[in-house]
Amino acid sequence: MQFQNTLAFAKEMDEKDPLKKYREQFFIPNFQDQPIRYFTGNSLGLQPKSTGEYIQRELNDWAKWGVEGHFHAERPWFSYHEFLTNKAAKIVGALPKEVVITHSLTTNLHLLMVSFFQPKGKRTKILCEAKAFPSDQYALESQIKFHGLSMEHDLVEISPREGKHIIEEDDIIQKIKEVGDELAMVMIGGVNYYTGQLFDMERITKAAHEVGAIAGFDLAHAAGNIDLKLHDWNVDFAAWCTYKYLNSSPGGVAGIFVHEKHAKNKDLPRFAGWWGHDKETRFQMTKGFQPIEGAEGWQLSNAPVLGMAAHLASLDIFEEVGMENLCEKRDQLTAYLEYIIDDISEKHQEKCSFEIITPRDQKRRGAQISMLVHGAEARKLFDFLTEKGVIADWREPNVIRLAPVPMYNSFEDVFFFGKYLEEGIGQ
Ligand SMILES: *Cc1c(COP(=O)(O)O)cnc(C)c1O
């Protein structure tokens, strides 16, 4: 497609956009009576206008029924999480029994690693990407220490090559082979939060399995952004939050995926709670934990219904849109942002330039562009954008991250980002 850096072109693209009506279904915050240009949907997704109704319904049932709402609410709370399962499973490409919505992301990572990180003999190592999201780094560190192992010996981090920002997949595969029978688990972010790099999870999983290791992924930046096929890729486990691309409220409920092949394995160690216990006998309150087969067996507690209601509101929109359609718009919108940045960078290269560190290949990224600002006072430029109502993400020393979210961002948003960026350079 031949893009143009003009408002008329952006408007025309929006007019032709088959998903344009979905923008209307979200609250876009205002800035000086104009909609803000929101590019941080990878940090906190915007609120669907329907979320309030979904939550209010549960508040009404709570007022009406008290404890009886567990069974008599319109959507009984006792099994509330089940209303979300099929829809969430479609988003990550899983069978329903492989998915459960529960707890928060870091909690889920820990629960899954308790089961799937089982160091034995010389097979004690975890392989992850360098500069993983801090919470994941702490989770891995504490898991390693929990087993009495050492960070120096048992954590293998893969870095980008000298002077590069993205990690070569070949290097990951090579390292997996090299560590070989000392490798217990690979745990990588499916999409890197910093560069926006999408990893080939199928290839990494296959390589991990070939050396007898487990493959798990953190999908915080992938769920609702990438067309995932966790079941087909044979991934062992995964976890994700729902407040980023999945627009399901700040700190909202999170997801767990456990591949079907582990569903019946009752010998996996786990930290258990009553909600993971066999549903038939849960209320007999007897001794002896009997896990539910599949992902539900990793639940600890009864469902936080208000957070789940927010997630359900959003899942219903994803169900209607479909990941395939979303990904089609995602690629166009992200490519337009890439084009705008390159265009401005070229025009103003005497003053400053922008170096995109996100992969240029659409197959290796989702709805994110991260760029380095060279030659200008990067922070001043970022602050100028903020003053103009562009909400982006800043990382020291000179990185701006932008997420053009296909669900509600427009081509016009991208155009205005570029317009203000140019104005900022001229300051
Ligand atoms: C956002 C994010 C988290 C946040 O974890 P919470 O438990 O939801 O606070 C963790 N890991 C990654 C990779 C993230 O992107």
Say how far apart CA 48 and CA 28 lie, in whole Å: 9
Q: State pTM to two decimals.
A: 0.97
Does residue 54 lie within any of the structural domains?
Answer: no
Which pLDDT score, from 0 to 100, does residue 376 have?
76
> Based on the domain organization, do 116 and 261 belong to the same domain?
yes
Q: Are 255 and 106 in contact (CB under 8 A)?
A: no
Confidence of residue 72 (pLDDT cuts 50, 70, 90): very high
Does 105 sit in the ligand 1 pocket, CB within 6 Å?
yes
Does 241 sit in the ligand 1 pocket, CB within 6 Å?
yes
> Based on the domain organization, do 86 and 184 belong to the same domain?
yes
**Closest residue CA from atom 10 of ligand 1:** 135
Atom of ligand 1 nearest to the CA of 109: 7
pLDDT, one tens digit per residue, over 82-123 is: 999 999 999 999 999 999 999 999 999 999 999 999 999 999
> Based on the domain organization, do 155 and 224 belong to the same domain?
yes
Confidence of residue 38 (pLDDT cuts 50, 70, 90): very high
Does 143 sit in the ligand 1 pocket, CB within 6 Å?
no
> Based on the domain organization, do 96 and 237 belong to the same domain?
yes
Does residue 75 lie within any of the structural domains?
Answer: no
Q: How many domains does the chain have?
A: 2
Q: Are 375 and 41 in contact (CB under 8 A)?
A: no
> Based on the domain organization, do 337 and 241 belong to the same domain?
no
Atom of ligand 1 nearest to the CA of 189: 13
| Cα–Cα nearest to 305, from 83, 47, 65 | 83
Does residue 297 lie within any of the structural domains?
Answer: yes
Of 267, 286, 320, the domain-final residue: 320
The b/e string for 48-58 (b: 16+ C-beta within 10 A; e otherwise) is bebbeebbebb
Say how far apart CA 407 and CA 310 lie, in whole Å: 16
Does residue 141 lie within any of the structural domains?
Answer: yes
Say how far apart CA 422 and CA 140 lie, in whole Å: 42
> Based on the domain organization, do 123 and 204 belong to the same domain?
yes
> Based on the domain organization, do 179 and 194 belong to the same domain?
yes
Q: What is the CATH number of the domain that holds 394?
A: 3.90.1150.10
pLDDT, one tens digit per residue, over 318-358 is: 999 999 999 999 999 999 999 999 999 999 988 999 999 99
Confidence of residue 287 (pLDDT cuts 50, 70, 90): confident
**Is 388 in a helix, a strand, or coil?**
coil
The count of residues in the chain is 427
pLDDT, one tens digit per residue, over 371-381 is: 999 987 899 99
Does residue 1 lie within any of the structural domains?
Answer: no
**Given a cut of 90, is residue 282 above it in pLDDT?**
no
Cα(220) to centroid(ligand 1), Å = 6
Of 292, 320, 348, the domain-final residue: 320
**Given a cut of 80, is residue 283 above it in pLDDT?**
no
Residue 360 buriedness (CB in 10 A; 0-12 / 13-18 / 19+)? exposed
For 361, other C-beta atoms within 10 Å of its C-beta total 8
The domain in which residue 298 lies consists of: 80-320
pLDDT, one tens digit per residue, over 195-215 is: 999 999 999 999 999 999 999
Confidence of residue 427 (pLDDT cuts 50, 70, 90): confident
> Based on the domain organization, do 333 and 220 belong to the same domain?
no
Of 320, 349, 370, the domain-final residue: 320
> Based on the domain organization, do 31 and 106 belong to the same domain?
no
pLDDT, one tens digit per residue, over 225-263 is: 999 999 999 999 999 999 999 999 999 999 999 999 999
